[in-house]
Structure 1
Amino acid sequence: MRVLVLSDIHANYTALTAVLNDAEGVDAVWCLGDVVGYGPDPNACVELLSEQPNVVCVLGNHDVAALGDMPLDSFNGDARRSLIWHERVLSADSIKFLRSLPSRKVEISEHVTLVHGSPRDPVWEYILNTLSARLNFEEFNTDFCFVGHTHVQSIFQLDPNLNRISLDMPHVGMPVPLTGRAILNPGSVGQPRDRDPRAAYVIFDTEALTWEPQRVEYNIKSVQARIREARLPEKHALRLAEGW
């Protein structure tokens, strides 16, 4: 089965559409949370995601906050401003879909666990380095854990013989054979933070056990215009063009 793995859409409908078009022909879509937050298109993104084949999604911290289930003072000022706007504009259907999603880690197959932040803290913890990765390998039972939240494509691999964790930033378009145990991040669809503004995603082959990172360009200026029309923070428009 060919699976589209994506995360951190952040209400960027133009980027999400570009990813879905670029990855056409997939058998399933696995989303690692933060469908909303930051961007100008929360309802359009929820609707489009919910229509995808065999979609499985977990909640991210911005999703939880937009539902009113997390204090907004947990976020910085700009993120808080956007979340207040998202709370106001989310439709009943969007709220219903988001409320149907789990905020915990989900074992999607014998090989894979899905989570937004980390296995030990599904909503909030960032896996940014080998230390935080090491602390999480004992928190899931499958071979692989797919995480989002950092907005950076990355692979943390465990070498049990050397008791060592390695960090790899995989090359776009080159399938990575998965062996042993690993924590893998597909990057962000709607707000990359690795200095590459293109929307990020991954194709996971469940039979060959390969992980293929991808990037796709989209019309960033149109998203920036909608952010400004909605009077959302200017920072959230500017950062899209530079990928930070």
Structure 2
Amino acid sequence: MKLAVLSDVHGKDEKLRSIAGKLSAADKILFLGDLFTEGDDPNACWELLTQLHTDVWIMGNTDEWLCEDYDVSTLNALCRQEALEAKAKMNPITLKAIQKWNKEKKFKLGSCSILCVHDYPLTDSLSGMKNKVYSSGADLILCGHTHKPALLRFENKMIINPGAVCEGQYVLIEIEENIESIEFINF
């Protein structure tokens, strides 16, 4: 099964459109959060990922800013402005859909247990990270937020960050019983 793993679109619908054909070839599309803010047409990003039948929707920090019960006054001035501008551009259906996104999703493909989150807090020490990874119960942790592609291995466990679509990055992962291949894409 081929997974396309995306994160941090930040409203850049033109970037998303440029890879739509490649994404449709994946068996599953996993979105790790931060779909909105910054871009000109946040609704276009939502519509495109919906048309591609995205399988996993994770709420990122900037998506959470758009939720009904989020107090934007707690944000710094720039983030507050971005949140208010994005919210003003969005249609009510999209805003309602965001409310239902989860902050994490766990599932299995073959014998591989996968945890999808937006921001996976890493520690400063390798032993601390290893303990955190093992305590998650997942073989593969997929996370975004940093906009930096990364792959960290701890024996038979992995953390993968696909980078940011808004910066021209995503990752393809092939899983049958276990992880067969990982391909970081720059576009």
**TM-score, with structure 1 as normaliser:** 0.67
Among all aligned residue pairs of Structure 1 and Structure 2, give the percentage whose two residues are the same amino acid: 25
Q: Structure 1 pair 11/213, CA: closer, same or farther in 2 (3 Å)?
A: same
Distance between the aligned counterparts of 1:128 and 1:49, measured in 2?
32
Secondary structure in structure 1 of the residue aligned to 2:65: helix
Equivalences, count: 181
Distance in 2 separating the partners of 1:11 and 1:130 = 34
Aligned to 1:113: 115
Query: Does residue 214 in structure 1 map to residue 180 in structure 2?
Result: no
What's the RMSD between the two structures over aligned residues?
2.1
Q: Is the 8 A contact 2:23 2:52 kept in 1?
A: no
TM-score (norm 2): 0.86
Cα distance change, pair 139–48 in 1 and its aligned pair in 2 (3 A): farther
Residue segments in structure 1 that go unaligned for 5+ positions in a row:
119-124, 160-179, 193-198, 217-244
Aligned residue among 158, 169, 173 for 1:182 = 158
Q: Is the CA contact 1:4–1:202 (under 8 Å) kept in the aligned structure 2?
A: yes
CA distance in 2, matches of 1:98, 1:16: 18
Counterpart of 1:70 in 2: which secondary structure? coil
Matched, 1:155 2:151: yes
- Do the aligned partners of 1:33 and 1:116 also contact (CA within 8 Å) in 2? yes
CA pair 133-15 structure 1, distance change in 2 beyond 3 A: farther
Q: 1:113 deviation in Å?
A: 0.8
Q: Displacement of 1:212 after TM fit?
A: 0.8
Match of 2:138 in 1: 142
Alpha-carbon contact 2:62-2:83 (below 8 Å) kept: yes
How many angstroms apart in 2 are the aligned matches of 1:24 and 1:9?
17
**Which shows bigger deviation, 53-62 or 71-80?**
71-80
2:29/2:53 contact within 8 Å kept: yes
Secondary structure in structure 1 of the residue aligned to 2:138: coil
